[in-house]
A and B are shown apart, each in its own frame.
Chain A
Amino acid sequence: MEKAIKKYFPIFALPTLLAFTIGFILPFVLGVYLSFCEFSTVTDAKFVGLKNYIRIWGDSTFIHSLWFTALFTIVSVLAINILAFAVAMLLTKGIKGTNIFRTVFFMPNLIGGIILGYIWQLILNGVLATIGRTLTYSSSYGFWGLIILMCWQQVGYMMIIYIAGIQNIPGDLIEAAKIDGANNRQLLRHVTLPMVMPSITICSFLTLTNSFKLFDQNLALTAGEPSNKSEMLALNIYNTFYGRTGWEGVGQAKAVVFFILVAIIAIVQLRATRQKEVQA
C-alpha cells in the first residue's frame, strides 16, 4: 500500500501542489519581495531595502489601527465565545424547537461580510438617528457596531462547534459527577469545560484570527470613518496600498508585519489552549 502511494505520489499531489504554488507560495514570496521595493503597480518594482519598514512607524494611522484592532480582538473573542457557549448550553438541554433555533442562529454566518456590514449600517444608523447621531459620528460607535455585527455573524458558527463538543461528553461522566454530588456550577466548571476544551481551542483560534484580520465588515460598516479612527489593520493596509500614491511598498511592508503578528498570536494562543485539553 505504502509503496503504491509512494509510486503515484507525484501524480496525486502535483495538481494541488501546483495550485498551491501558483495561488499561495508565489504571491506570498512576491509579496515579501515587494515589501522591500518601491512601485506604483506590482509589475514595475524597484528594490529599496528596508526603507518601507522604517516608513511604517512614521505613519500614525498604523499604530492607531493596531491598538484599535487589538482592543477589538480582545472584546470580540470574549463576547463571541461566551455568547456562543451560552447558546450552545441552552440548545443542548433538549428544549422544544432546538433544531429551528440552531438553524436560525447559524444563518447570519451564511451572509457575506460586505452585505452584513451594509445591513447593520442601516439598522444602527436608524437606531442612532433617534439621538441625532450616525455610526461614523465617533469611533466608539463604530467599535461597538463592529462588535455587535461580529457577534451576530459568528455566534451561530461557534455555537455549532460548541454543541458538537458538548454532545461528545460521555453521559456516564456527567452521571458519575452527579452521583458524587456535584451541583450545576461544579458540573460546568470541572466536567463540561475541560471536556469541551478542544472546541474552545478551535473556536478561540477562529474568532481570534477572524477578528484580527477583519476587513469586509469594517469596510462596509464604517470604512474607517471618522478620520481613520475606526480603521482596523487590514483596512489600513488596503488604504495605504491603494489610497496613497507612493506608499504602495509601505502598504506591502505593513502586510508582512501583519502576517508575522497574526502568526505569532495564533501560535501562542494554540499552545496556551492546547495545554488545557484533557482526555476523558
Chain B
Amino acid sequence: MKKKLLSAVLSATMLASVLTGCGGSTGETPAAAPAETTAATEAAAPAETTAATEATDTTAAGTGKVYYLNFKPEQAQAWEALAAKYTEETGVQVDVQTAASGTYESTLKSEIAKTEAPTLFQVNGPVGLATWNDYCYDLSDSAVYKELKSDDFALKDGDAVKGLAYVVETYGIIYNKDILNDYFTKDYAVVKSVDEINSFDQLKAVADSIQENKDDLGVKGAFTSAGMDSSSDWRFKTHLANLPIYYEYKADGIGSTDAIKGTYLENYKNIWDLYITDATCEASLLSSKTGEDATADFALGDAVFYQNGTWAYGDLSANGMSDESLGMLPIYIGAEGEENQGLCTGSENYWCVNKNASAEDIQATLDFMYWCVTSEAGCSALSGEMGFVCPFNAFDSYPATNPLINIANEYVSAGKTSVSWTFTTMPSEEWKNGVGSALLEYAQGTGEWSAVETAFVDGWATEYAAANN
C-alpha cells in the first residue's frame, strides 16, 4: 500500500515537472530581476512613500522609470525613437510597448495586473475611462495638464482630471487628386470640380460613374476595399457609425444616450452600400481584406476614395503617395444640411497615468509627458514624425507637416462644421463587434440589413444596460 502511494506521489511529481515546464519559468521572472521586486512592494502600497523612497535608494537612485503602453501601431517606431532620445538626455528609462491593432484593451488588462505595470496608458474616452477610472492618477496638479490648451481636451471625473487628450485627429474620405482631376476632364464626368461634391447624392453619382468607367480611368474601383478584417473593420463599425449617431444626437440635442433610436440608419445603409458596391473587390471577399489591402489599393492608384484619417498619412507616404495628390472630403451620408458638414474631428487618445505605480515612477512619467509636449525634441517628433496635432500650448510653434491635417484646417477656416467624435459614447466594444459582424454579413449577402439595425439599436440598449448596472 505504502509502495503504491509512494509511486503515485513520484509519478505525480514527474507529471508535474512536465506540466509546469512553461509555468515554472514565468514564475521565476521576478526573481531573476531582484531590483524589480522592491518596485512590487511599492506598487502594492503607494501610500507608504517614505518607506518606498528608502527602499528604492538601493536601486536606480530613486529616479523611477516610465512604461508607456502605446495605442497606435502606426507610430510605434517613432515612439520608441523618442523614448530612446529621452533616455539619452535624462538617463531615465522609458519602455514603449505597442499593442497590435484591436488588442489594446486586452493587452492593457493583462499588463496592468503585472508587477511591472504600464505607468502611462491610454483610454479611448468616457466609456474607456469607466473601466479604468480606479487606475487613473488625478492629473489636476500636474505640469503637463497646465500645458493643455483647453479643458475640452481633458477627461474629467468630477473635478479630478483623469485623462489628457494628446492628439486630435480628423478623418473623412481621402481622395486621390490626380485621378479625380483626370476624371473631371472626361466627358462622362458628372461634376467638373471637387467643390461640387458636397452631398451624398453627388458623391454617389461621382463614385458610380467612376466605377462604370474604371477601365478608362485605370482604376479597379471608386473606393478601396472596405475590409472587415480586424485591422480595418473599425473604419466602419466605429468611424462610419459615428455619422448616424452624430446626426441623431444633433437632432435630439443630446450628447449621449442609453438607447439609440437609429433615426439615420437608412443613411448608414446607403453609404455602406456605396462603399461595398463601388469598390475594388467583390463584397464576398471583404471578410479577409485588411487595412494594408486598403492602403495598397489607394497608394497604388487602384482606388480614388479611401475612408481614413490623418493618422494614415505615414502609411500612405511610405507607400509612395506624394503630398500633392492627397485630398479629403467629408463623409456625406445624406443628412439635411450636410453641404456645410466638415470632417470628423476629435480624440479617442487620452493619456492616463497609473496611480498604482510607485511615486517615483509616477513622477518620472509626468516628467516624460511634460517633456514630450514642451521640449523641442518632443514637439518636433510628435508633430513631425508622428504627424499629430497636439492640443498643448507649445505646439503653436510647430505647424503640422502632415498635409491631411492642413486639409482639415482648411475645412475649419472655410466655416464648415466639424463632426464631433460621438463614437466615444458607444456603449462597449461588444456593441461595435456586433454591428461590424452584421455589416459584414449584410455585405457578403449572408445576412439582412435588419440584423445591422438590431445590432445597432437593440445591441446599444442591452450593452448600455450591461455596462452600467
Contact = CB atoms under 8 A, between A and B. Distances in A.
A41 B109 contact: yes
Given A129-B285, A132-B285, A245-B131, A226 B429 contact: no
Contacts of A112: none
A226 B109 contact: no
Contacts of B414: none
B51 interface: no
A20 interface: yes
Interface stretch (A90-98, A134-142, A205-213): A134-142
B284 interface: yes
A24 B284 contact: no
A133 to B, nearest CB: 5
A245 B428 contact: yes
Contact of A40 (B23, B134, B284): B134
A133 B444 CA distance: 9
Interface in A226-280: 226-228, 242-246, 248
Interface residues of B, number: 45
A244 B17 contact: no
A228 B436 CA distance: 11
B270 interface: no
A42 interface: yes
Interface in A1-50: 2, 5-6, 9, 13, 16-17, 19-20, 22-24, 27, 40-44
Interface in A86-107: none
Interface in B69-121: 105-106, 109-110, 112-113
Interface string B18-33: 0110111011000000
B6 A227 contact: no
B446 interface: yes
B13 A13 contact: yes
Contacts of A248: 109
B441 A245 contact: no
A275 B165 CA distance: 66
Given A20-B13, A242-B109, A246-B466, A228 B437 contact: yes
A216 interface: no
A24 B13 contact: no
A200 interface: no
B107 to A, nearest CB: 9
B466 A242 contact: no
B113 A43 contact: yes
B27 A23 contact: yes
B16 A226 contact: no
Nearest to B26: A23
B282 interface: yes
B118 to A, nearest CB: 12
A20 B287 contact: no
A16 B16 contact: yes
A201 interface: no
B19 A243 contact: no
Nearest to B10: A13
A220 B206 CA distance: 39
Contacts of A6: 6
A223 interface: yes
Nearest to B25: A23
Given A19-B16, A19-B24, A243 B284 contact: no
Given A16-B16, A24-B16, A24-B20, A223 B230 contact: yes
A242 B109 CA distance: 7
B285 A17 contact: no
Interface string B116-134: 0000000000000011101
B428 A42 contact: no
Contacts of B109: 40-41, 242, 248
A23 B429 contact: no
Contacts of A9: 6
B334 to A, nearest CB: 27
Contacts of B26: 23
Contacts of A17: 13, 16
B285 A226 contact: no
Contacts of A2: 3, 6
Contacts of B331: none
A42 to B, nearest CB: 5
Contacts of B440: 225-227
B288 interface: yes
A134 B287 contact: yes
A205 to B, nearest CB: 14
B430 interface: yes
A6 B10 CA distance: 11
Contacts of A192: none
A23 to B, nearest CB: 3
B35 interface: no
B131 A226 contact: no
Interface of A: 2, 5-6, 9, 13, 16-17, 19-20, 22-24, 27, 40-44, 121, 125, 129, 132-138, 223, 225-228, 242-246, 248
Interface of B: 3, 6, 9-10, 13-14, 16-17, 19-20, 22-24, 26-27, 105-106, 109-110, 112-113, 130-132, 134, 230, 282, 284-288, 428-430, 433, 437-438, 440-441, 444, 446-447, 466-467
Ranked nearest first, the 10 interchain pairs of A and B with the lowest CB-CB distance are A23-B23, A242-B106, A20-B16, A227-B437, A23-B20, A136-B287, A41-B113, A19-B24, A134-B288, A22-B27
27 contacts: A6-B6, A13-B9, A13-B13, A16-B13, A16-B20, A17-B16, A20-B20, A24-B16, A24-B19, A40-B132, A43-B113, A132-B282, A132-B284, A132-B285, A133-B284, A134-B286, A135-B287, A137-B287, A137-B446, A225-B437, A225-B440, A226-B446, A227-B440, A227-B447, A243-B429, A245-B105, A245-B467
